[in-house]
């Protein structure tokens, strides 16, 4: 049975990009693999959340994992900071990571450009912490979104480097896992790029979002002036809406609007109304479960305790061996 590891930063409510980019794969994998799914609260510290926000966001993501169908009896579901071994392995990997390669990471350069007043060391060494999260359980597969491909490649680099430096085969090289042909990237509503909380409130549709709010956001989504010739290519904002439609709507609905577009008869208002209602139909059962689980503190406490115990059992073995390989030995 293959080992699968992946996590999501607790930066607030989960959105459709999180669901289709990661959680959907979690659901498929939990029956067939030895899965470790975690809430990456160490990673979220790069944005300096308040203590209250940090705890609240961790709870929200935990609740939404469970509401989405992640089964704590089938998988090891844990909070990253419940594993001090992760922090130790992160430190050890930092010793063999180099400034040049870390500064070339695309996401680091993007974050540095967007937040020039908060270019902290945690942002720079983010790939080292992500690598520690993954290889601490000796993962074979990592279900990640398209934007994390470079980080996963660096994880493989760090695993190879450790094995080569100490002439061992401790860490396998994890591969990206997705059930489709390509890694899924869910577009946002602002006309460009992926769906994400950091791109602005109106860019993302959240799993727990009220129907009224979903309709409002979708109706405000960016479009263009319409096709100027039959069967013309779609602009990025319009293609983004069609991408979302393909995910939440029936094939017949998608085909109807494709035909409308290709014949230059499309009314974007009708497209948006249909898209909004189909998103609401998809998220409604999730929203109901989120409300129910969120109120059950005893259940959440039990899930977290069991997950931490299982995760630490795995992580402690790896770190113990890594320490001995490096030369940390008892007298």
CA dist., res. 171 & res. 158, Å (int): 9
Burial group, residue 156, by CB count within 10 angstroms (0-12, 13-18, 19+): middle
Q: Which two tokens stand for residue 9?
A: 């930063």
Q: Hey, which residues are catalytic here?
A: 111, 194, 197
Helix axes 149-165, 106-114, angle to 10 degrees: 120
Chain centroid to Cα 300, Å, comes to 21
Looking only at the bridges linking them, the beta strands covering 76-79 and 141-142 are: unpaired
Q: Where are the alpha helices (DSSP H) in 16-94?
A: 16-18, 24-29, 41-44, 51-67, 84-94
The pair of structure tokens assigned to 74 is 């089938």
Hey, how many other C-beta atoms are within 10 angstroms of the C-beta on 160?
12
Beta bridge partners of 206: 15
Distance CA(248)–CA(282), nearest Å, equals: 7
Cβ contacts of 160 within 8 Å, gap of 6 or more: 173
**Strand partners for 34:** 3
């Amino acid at each position: 049975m293959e080992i699968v590891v992946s996590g999501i930063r607790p930066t607030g409510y989960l959105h459709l990009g999180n669901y289709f980019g990661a959680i959907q794969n979690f659901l498929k994998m939990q029956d067939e693999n030895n899965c470790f799914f975690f809430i990456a609260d160490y990673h979220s510290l790069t944005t300096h959340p308040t203590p209250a926000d940090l705890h609240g966001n961790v709870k929200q993501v935990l609740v939404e994992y469970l509401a989405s169908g992640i089964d704590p009896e089938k998988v090891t579901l844990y909070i990253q900071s419940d594993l001090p071994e992760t922090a130790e392995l992160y430190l050890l990997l930092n010793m063999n990571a180099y400034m040049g390669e870390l500064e070339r990471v695309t996401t680091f350069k993007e974050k540095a450009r967007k937040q020039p007043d908060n270019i902290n060391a945690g942002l720079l060494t983010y790939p080292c912490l992500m690598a520690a999260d993954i290889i601490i359980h000796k993962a074979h597969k990592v279900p990640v979104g398209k934007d994390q491909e470079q980080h996963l490649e660096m994880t493989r680099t760090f695993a190879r480097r450790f094995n080569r430096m100490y002439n061992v085969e401790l860490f396998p090289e994890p591969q990206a896992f997705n059930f489709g042909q390509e890694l899924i990237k869910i577009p946002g509503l602002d006309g460009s790029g992926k769906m994400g909380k950091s791109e602005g409130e109106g860019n993302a549709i959240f799993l727990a979002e009220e129907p009224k709010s979903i309709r409002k956001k979708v109706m405000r989504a960016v479009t263009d002036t319409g096709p100027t010739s039959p069967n013309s290519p779609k602009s990025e904002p319009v293609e983004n809406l069609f991408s979302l439609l393909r995910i939440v709507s029936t094939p017949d609905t998608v085909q109807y609007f494709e035909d409308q577009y290709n014949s230059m008869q499309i009314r974007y208002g009708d497209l948006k109304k249909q898209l909004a209602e189909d998103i609401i139909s998809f998220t409604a059962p999730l929203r109901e479960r989120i409300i129910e689980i969120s109120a059950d503190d005893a259940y959440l406490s039990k899930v977290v305790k069991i997950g931490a115990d299982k995760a630490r059992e795995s992580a402690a073995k790896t770190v113990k061996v890594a320490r001995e390989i490096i030369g940390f030995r008892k007298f």
